[in-house]
Amino acid sequence: MRQLLSGGRKHGRDSDDGANGRRLPGRPRSEQARQAIFRSTLKLLQRSSFSGLTIEAIAADADVGKATVYRWWPNKGALVVDAFASSAEPELHFPNTGSVYRDMSLQMAQFLGVLRSPRGRIVAALLAGGQSDPELLTAFRERFLRPRREEAYKTLRRAIERGELPENLDLDVVLDTLYGAIYMRFLIRHDELSENYIREVCSLVLGGPLRKQTSRPKLRRKALGICATGS
């Protein structure tokens, strides 16, 4: 996962921190340039789409030679995913409230916040670009999706231990159903993507909180309770 899409140059990050602590000869990589490139990438990506973003523009905006970009990233996708990862890491953790419904809907609401922020454009750009660049998609999965999913597993397993969810549940199916509902409205934009929508999705998939039951009793009873036992 490390350096997923980056080039394998001499002075790249992670290359000189071996046990010996020796550095290679020659000028070391400019951390300043690296960050300027990230900054410009994210900045430009908020104005244009993935396909409208050009290395030329990034290099110009970052006051950096085009070759410096190509030296460290093999293509646009690798750079974008790196820039995204470098900026998005610390957010989006799962709470532990003692209720799956609350844990999941809170985290999904956080995620919704990200999608609505300027960084939402970047997520869209990554997924768009990933449709024609498998490595970009891989990077998105490894660097963004997987870390969150690991946490989500824990949240769901806690719910199973508490008895809130059945034991033989396929966690991936649950998570893809929950998050798929978000991604769908985010990517296709055919309907409102609101906190209330998230609550309804969670209710539908996880069973809602007590106060929700009165408003949707029939679905639960009919679709799953009675139907299940009575027929």
Contact of residue 66 among DNA, its own copies, none (CB under 5-8 Å per partner type): DNA
Check residue 24 for interaction with its own copies (CB under 8 A).
no
* Burial annotation 192-212 (CB, 10 A radius, 16+ → b, else e): ebeeebbbbbbbbbbbbeeeb
153-182 positions binding its own copies, by CB under 8 A: 163-170, 172-174, 176-182
- In the shown chain, the binding pattern of residues 45 to 84 toward DNA, with x for contact by CB under 7 A and - for none, equals ---------xxxx-----xxxxxx-xxx--xx--------
DSSP code per residue over 55-85 = HHHHHHHTT--HHHHHHH-SSHHHHHHHHHH
Neighbours of 140 (CB within 10 A): 22
Dist. CA 87–CA 110, nearest whole Å: 16
Check residue 213 for interaction with its own copies (CB under 8 A).
yes
| Closest approach of DNA to the CB of residue 84, in Å | 17
Check residue 131 for interaction with its own copies (CB under 8 A).
yes
Check residue 7 for interaction with its own copies (CB under 8 A).
no
Query: How many angstroms separate the Cα of 11 from the Cα of each of 27, 28, 74?
Result: 8, 6, 15
Among 42, 58, 115, 137, binds its own copies (CB under 8 A): 137
Please name the residue that has the structure tokens 């985290």: 107
Under the rule (CB under 7 A), what is the footprint of DNA?
9-12, 22-30, 33-34, 54-57, 63-68, 70-72, 75-76
